[in-house]
Chains A and B, each alone.
Chain A
Amino acid sequence: MPTRSRLRLPALDMPLLLAALALVCLGLLTVYSATSIPGAHQGLWTRQLAWAGIAVAVAWVVASIHYRAYDALAWPLYIIAMGLLVLVLLKGSSAMGAKRWLDLGPLHFQPSELAKVATVILLARCFDQEKIDLRRFKHWFPALLIVLLPFALVAKQPDLGTSLTFPVILIAMYFWAGMPVGQLLLGLSPVFNAALFFLTGGLWWSAGLVVVLLGAVRPRLATLVVVVLLNFCVGYALPHVWNHMHDYQKRRIVTFMNPGEDPYRAGYQIIQSRIAIGSGGFKGTGYLKGTQKGLAFLPMRHTDFIFSVVGEEWGLLGTATVVLLYALLVLRGFRLALVARSGFASLVAVGVMSALFYHIMVNILMTIGWAPVTGLPLPFISYGGTALVANGIQIGLLQNVAIRRMEL
């Protein structure tokens, strides 16, 4: 009998599963609370409950198919996902000035969620080779192209917050697949360059950084040439181009980098969110007793700003619990990557986990005013069907890795 039950629940990663389920339950409770005020959105929690059920089922299905199948289907999956991203640009329905959704009959579908998973799977397939050496140009460059395509397509929607998930995934998987940290930093140096230019207006800092890195890493010639060229382009061209742009062009770029539809409203949302979280104090106002969440001025209180409702009603006890559950989830995910049976599985785990980690961080830091307002939902908790099902897929993939970690 014990053997049978073992077969029924084969080596699931229980802490990961329970953490995810706990977060979904917390999410349902909070969505119920956030939409309990008379007015728009009331009663949305029933739909969220239905979506949670679907997400669990999807996770089950994704977990039960052997990951070898995903490995084999990596390219078709990727191509379909890219096709959908193109389709959304052509025919998508827009919300708040961005085209993010595909209408499938009664369903709204956000192809960028699928693209994330597909990209992770394809990258894992590419990096899972006996002789992979990411110090070599021909090994790391194709991966860059694979990621650039969805990045550009999602950025074009425009959805900068989501599009940045792709480089985050790439960096994490480069790292896990064995790229030296020094080289990784070197590759990122043009980004530092650009950031430093916008922050300080000067480039001496980053020039010094690049020189130090080059000395430390001693990369191969092709890599060296590309890095220096990129840095030169960014360092030389950026200020030039910037200074020659018209004001309205600059404004577009600034708006693009601060995608909180309009700066006035975004700043206000952050203030409201901080007041809500801060007023929760240690114990919170009590479930369903939050006063701030009722403000019509936090229009995304059940989606992007749901963490503010958690903070107000459950105080630091609630927020710390949520943060610790997330920490448990992420750490278990990375541990799965360590113990995974195959390279592919290990890489998938890291890719999936890094995307989740990025979403969690950006959303929570946004609600406390430490990150810009982006349209990223809080995984497992925010209202939204596509995102929840996507989270289900991610958990399913991780459990898939967990189930088969003992295979021969």
Chain B
Amino acid sequence: MLPSKPLRERRHQRYRLLVALTLTGFGLTLLGLVRLQILDGGRYAGLAKENRVRPEVLRAPRGTIYDRNGELLADSSPSFGIVFRPFPAESTQRALEAMSPAWLARVSALVELDSAEVRSRVNFANLSGQSAMLKHDAPFAILARVEETRSELPGIEVQLEPLRRYPHGTLAAHLLGYAGEINGAELDTLKDAGYQPGDLIGRTGVERRYEDVLRGRDGVEYVVVNARGRRVSTLKESGELAPVPGQDLVLTLDLKVQRALEEVMADVPRGAAVVLDPRDGGILAMVSRPVYDPNEFSHGLTRARWKQLSEGGANPLLDRAIQGVYPPGSTFKIVTMSAALSRGVARAGTRFAPCLGGLNYGGRRFGCWDHRGHGSLDLIGALQHSCDVYFYQLGLKLGLARLEETAKALGLGARTGVDLPQEARGLIPDAAYYDKRWGARGWRSGLLLNLAIGQGELLLTPLQLALMTAEAAMDGRPLRPHVVERVGRAPAFRPARPVQPGLPADSAIWRPVKEGMELVVAAGTGGAARVPGLRVAGKTGTAQNPHGQDHALFVCYAPVDSPRVAVAIVIENAGHGGSVCAPRAGAMLRRLFLPDSLQRPAARPAPRDSARRAVVDTGVVDAD
């Protein structure tokens, strides 16, 4: 079949156009070749002879982290690292020589790495043409030895690099998190995002959550070096990329508050404490114990030290403030009380059967923490003295569904949405949970008695406790705890927490709760948190712990008339909240609210003292 009409028509014309295009294309190519090989040929021949062009990564400095007042919390400072620089000019042969066993042994001894690790890093460098970091922030002694042995150890050099620095050491370590050198597995998955060997990557805390904005983008330049590895000039012609520095973060954290909290928590072996700004949910301070120094990670951890940190029994890497879950104990009575008031189950003056030190229910005796009994109390008095018997009866009237709904509406038992990684959910059990655990009808309302006083299956994080306290202080306004105030110059994006059904958000509901909480501190179980001249409202808690001694808890906010801090302190296996946690809260509030002259001369008030004083003042032996 002959070509069709449209194909035959003006065929020669089209053919000529195709030929013209082809000739243009190849002509252009020839032109490019002539330019490259003849006009610039001499220059390239020089480069090829001398020929040491290599890419230098221009590391983007990681963003700086400030507290809300512009105090420095984390930055990058210049340091000297030991690197292996591959040989672009010499043949592969020469590169192989550099990897002789003797070389490897000397280098690995010098940088204190095992030789397999050194070998793999050097191999990667030879493949990619990029420098391989062998030791970060090398001490002067090692630097000096590298300079001495330079001629014997080809490829080993000293290089300037930014080092992540946390000037306050362990202060707010868990909240800030740490950044470490990226590892092989991460490199494989994050290659598209432009990570390279030697880059820092945020591993926990703010460093991890805000990795994208903190890291910036590395640049690259191509440098010509001479035979001794010294830079001669920079190639400008192609592929040059300027580094884009990471963005700075301004946290809601207040260094002053953080310091005060760190101080009162200094001698705590295991525990956590959070201070929230109840007005907007910003985290003012956050402490978890035991603690580690994030600077250690910047220098590169030895395997042994990493093992010690990650596998030791106390697990210092765990951020107990958001990842630790604890039964809330009597602090949960705040939730029970607000639920009862909002559902009309009880009013401020409601009295039930008097407390005689315990309550018989379902054939079992449920004791009050004070075996002598509290007698007849109204609702406010019951909170003030943390009377379990009163709250047992309140819980029974309230029922599981309404208690659970109120707790969840307050944001408990779910992630608060704080901008920190790996937050725990906690647990507010509901009927479905019990059905699943014990089988439908396999459980009785007796467990409601335990829930009403914060025992049983309930689990909350210290952050959730602080959130609960802040919401009480703000008459139930839903808050979203957060830690980053501004990213670069823009305010951080923060979706509001949706209002859930069943949220008690009426000041009439909260007035008796707050009154009771103020009495807890003024003349109740939390007397140790009293601060002269400051109205403090709080609640003590002691959570039974099947694995050991009770956990001590205390939550409070101050000043009562215009709340500015909401505090939650949890100390593991420490006994009673009123005697262990409340004095620490009091000491911290004194530091924050009292002028310096009114404070005691000792930098850290002795908790034992204030606890004893509380006993004398209130006549109450101890918290719940």
Contact = CB atoms under 8 A, between A and B. Distances in A.
Asked if A and B are interacting partners, one says yes
Interface of A: 37-39, 97, 127-134, 175-178, 181, 247-248, 251-252, 255, 261-268, 270-272, 274-282, 291-292, 294-297, 299, 311-312, 315-316, 319-320, 323-324, 326-327, 330-331, 334-335, 337-338, 340-344, 346-347, 350, 357, 361, 364-365, 368-370
Nearest to A266: B239
Contact of A316 (B12, B38, B89): B38
Contact of B2 (A176, A265, A276, A343): A343
B380 to A, nearest CB: 51
Contacts of A330: 22, 26
B53 A272 contact: yes
30 contacts: A128-B1, A130-B4, A130-B5, A132-B4, A175-B14, A177-B6, A178-B6, A262-B191, A265-B128, A265-B129, A267-B241, A268-B129, A268-B239, A274-B36, A275-B48, A275-B51, A275-B53, A277-B44, A278-B44, A281-B38, A292-B48, A296-B127, A323-B26, A326-B26, A331-B22, A343-B1, A344-B1, A346-B3, A368-B29, A369-B238
Given A271-B238, A275-B48, A296-B92, A370 B32 contact: yes
Interface of B: 1-7, 9, 11-12, 14-15, 17-19, 22-23, 25-26, 29-30, 32-34, 36-38, 40-45, 47-49, 51, 53, 55, 57, 86, 88-89, 91-93, 95, 126-130, 191-194, 196, 212, 218, 220, 222, 235, 237-241
A315 B34 CA distance: 10
Contacts of B238: 267, 270-271, 274, 369
B38 A248 contact: no
Nearest to A342: B1
A324 B238 CA distance: 28
A342 B45 CA distance: 52
Given A299-B127, A334-B19, A320 B33 contact: yes
Contact of B239 (A131, A175, A271): A271
B25 A278 contact: no
Nearest to B130: A264
Q: Is the interface of A mostly helix, strand, loop or mixed?
A: helix
B38 A282 contact: yes
A30 B554 CA distance: 78
A278 B45 contact: yes
Contact of B212 (A247, A270, A280, A296): A247
A282 B51 contact: no
Contact of A311 (B15, B37, B53): B37
Contact of B191 (A97, A276, A369): A97
Given A281-B37, A281-B45, A267 B220 contact: yes
Q: Sorted from nearest, which 4 A-B pairs have the closest CB atoms? A: A267-B239, A278-B44, A279-B48, A178-B6
A277 B53 contact: no
Contact of A297 (B11, B33, B129): B129
Contact of B36 (A133, A272, A278, A294): A278
B22 A178 contact: no
Contacts of A334: 15, 18-19, 22
Nearest to A294: B91
A143 to B, nearest CB: 14
Given A295-B91, A312-B48, A368-B36, 20 more contacts: A37-B92, A38-B92, A128-B7, A134-B6, A263-B241, A264-B130, A265-B129, A271-B235, A274-B238, A275-B44, A279-B44, A279-B48, A295-B89, A330-B26, A334-B22, A341-B2, A343-B4, A357-B22, A368-B33, A369-B237
